[in-house]
Amino acid sequence: MQLLRDPDTRVIYVTNRRLHPTVIEYALDTVTSLPNSHARRRLTFLDCADGDPVPLSQKVLGRPDLVEQIRREVSGSSQACLVTYSSGSPERTLAVRLGIPLYACDPALSYLGSKSGARRFFRAAGVPVLEGYEDLRDEGDLIQALAELKSAHPEVRGAVIKLNDSFAGGGNGLFSFDGAPDAGLGDWVKRELPQRVVFGTGTDTWESYMAKWQEMGGIVERHVDAAETRSPAAQLDITPTGEVRVLTTHDQILGGTVKQVFVASAFPAHPSYRMDIQALALRAGKALADRSALGLLSIDFVSERTPAGWSHYALETNLRVGGGTTPYFHLHGLVEGRYSRDSAEYLTPDGEPRCYYASDRLQRDKYRMFGPDDVIDIALRHGLGYSSATRCGAIFYMLGGIEHTGKVGIIAIHGTPERARRTYDGVVAALDAEALSR
């Protein structure tokens, strides 16, 4: 919706199912610099009337009438483009049928977004990576890589194994080397691996995980277990001219059984290293631009504090819209300020910093009793909703699905990270209390 701030911009928004009217009005209310009526005239909603778990682009391609309707909507515009969550073969095909460019990486570059491809790319770009091995195809490769990692680095206490094409930590597992022998390490790993590995989601079994491994392969990396570790990330936008813009650096909050699954993001990243992360992300971004990467993407890191200071290692490239994309665009649209590359902060027009704590993973079965209006009302009654006067408060997204999934996204904006987190926690507490009282 924030694109509608430009009075010359039109948006054709395609969804699986028709959006709840409250969701639309609430989203339009966030375009604070223009009358709702002006923004609404330039916004067209189309839907597939289909809630099945199939990628949206495939649904659209299966509806020639809808493709034609979209094509009519964008006809006559020399600057129209297709913006999608990710860019695979269906998205490229849809862009071709619409006769407009896809504002995202060509699917031919998808190998850069795999775990193995990212490790090779980072090394070539001069961005540090963890000790480890990539291009592992089967169980034998995995066992050998784990044994070689421990042999080459005896001080390593554990390793993370990752499926090549997983995301948000869902394909990660943690293997402990505790009790590993000095001799016969390969045999020990082979014997211990099936029963010792702990998976990030807690739902995989050794058999199900190895079936995925046989299909897509993966990597092994040293597990960072320093006394203080962080998981920062940077969001980038690469324009068609090759300009690389840093949108944010933020800290990822990880959860799951072994703290490998993305849960939330806190912007900006910690002041002790945010400038370092920005510099490394720019180096990687320029190398990506040299390979014709395009559009919105992010780079994940892991950081460990050593006696000499912080050490940072690049983990993966996400060549798609990520968990921090929506929070950033809401921050930018609501606050109407700018990202400062000098401090890696977001500043209001008056030069005051604004931070956020955001998550699209807040889910409770009991939240299914709420409609979009309920969620908005609860926040307002507790004085937690976003205020354009103070440029602080909470805003919601993914509201349209709360009745079906019990899931909602929250972005809490404030002047300091601590107050942003307190606002977020206040919203969750208010929703929980309301659900309990009903």
**C-alpha 20: how far from its chain's center?**
25
In whole angstroms, give the CA distance from residue 158 to residue 174: 7
User: By the 8 A CB rule, do 210 and 218 touch?
Assistant: no
> What pLDDT score was predicted for residue 176?
97
Query: Which ranges of the chain have pLDDT less than 50?
Result: none
427, 384 Cβ separation under 8 angstroms: yes
Structure tokens at 406: 């019990």
Q: What is the pLDDT of residue 168?
A: 66
| Long-range contacts formed by 111-116: CB under 8 A, 24+ apart | 112/288, 112/291, 112/293, 112/317, 112/319, 113/316, 113/317, 113/318, 113/319, 113/320, 114/164, 114/165, 115/162, 115/163, 115/164, 115/165, 115/166, 115/218, 115/219, 115/316, 116/164, 116/217, 116/218, 116/219
Q: What pLDDT is attached to residue 201?
A: 76
What percent of the residues of the chain are helix, what percent strand, and what percent coil, each to the nearest 5?
40, 25, 35
At 331 the pLDDT is: 95
Helices and strands (DSSP H and E) totals, the chain: 14, 18
* Both tokens assigned to 222: 């040293």
What single-letter DSSP state applies at residue 286?
Answer: H
End-to-end CA separation in angstroms for the chain = 33
Alpha helices in 263-354 (DSSP H): 274-290, 325-335
Which residues lie below 8 Å from residue 321, measured CB to CB, with a gap of 6+?
84, 85, 86, 296
pLDDT at 1: 67
Bridge partners (DSSP) of residue 43 are 11
**Three-state DSSP class for 371?**
coil
Q: How far apart are CA 25 and CA 396, in angstroms?
A: 12
Residues in the chain: 438
Q: What are phi and psi of 165, to 5 degrees?
A: -110, 30
Answer positive or negative: Cα dihedral of 429, 261, 353, 321. Answer: negative
